[in-house]
Amino acid sequence: MAYTYYIRSWDPRSTYPTNPQEGDICYTITLDQTWAPVGGVKKDNIVKEEIYQNGAWVEQGGGGGLKTLYDGNVAISTQSSTFPGAYDSAATDLSESVETAPDALAVTVNIPNTSPFVLPYSRNNNAYGLFDGSDPLWNECPIVVALTGNGDAYSKFVASSVMSASLGMKIQAVTVS
């Protein structure tokens, strides 16, 4: 039996393959702000590997680096001073600080009908998200995250959104070797 190999992105518009067969493999890869594979499609760029087993995609592990920095609730409710019409969270402690800014952040939020978002680092804004110049592309991704800290380490984050809400969030650092 021949298995089919799929490539899936963390682009929120990306979906799982239709009609998978038992044993098919799906690789999730990291994309940059232009939705191109970071560093090309290669083993170090694989964030997650899943195999279709018993009617479901089952995670097998991944390549590159993926480290959970935060997993909990965040209240996004203060008028943003950075993004007009948006709201910010208070500076929130990361569960694990990082010394180097990750290549991207994989952010899962409990917004109905959304998949995890991969937020590329934007040098213009010194934040993670999808931007058109200095303006977030809220229609394509409803959240922006900025890492902050003391000295050389990033130990806190601020989340911004056009929605004022309390959201469950999981933030993972994505690094490409």
b (16+ CB within 10 A) / e for 41-75: eeeebbbbbbbbeeeebeeeebbbebeebbeeebe
- pTM score, two decimals? 0.64
What pLDDT does 151 receive?
A: 67
Helix, strand or coil, per DSSP, at residue 135: strand
Is 158:89 a contact under the CB 8 Å cutoff? yes
How many whole angstroms separate alpha carbon 144 and alpha carbon 128? 6
Q: Over its length of 177 residues, how does the chain's per-residue pLDDT go in tens digits?
A: 344 555 665 555 566 777 777 777 777 776 666 666 666 555 556 667 777 777 777 776 544 456 889 999 999 999 998 999 999 999 999 998 888 888 788 888 887 777 777 788 887 778 998 888 889 999 888 899 999 987 678 999 999 999 898 989 989 887 654
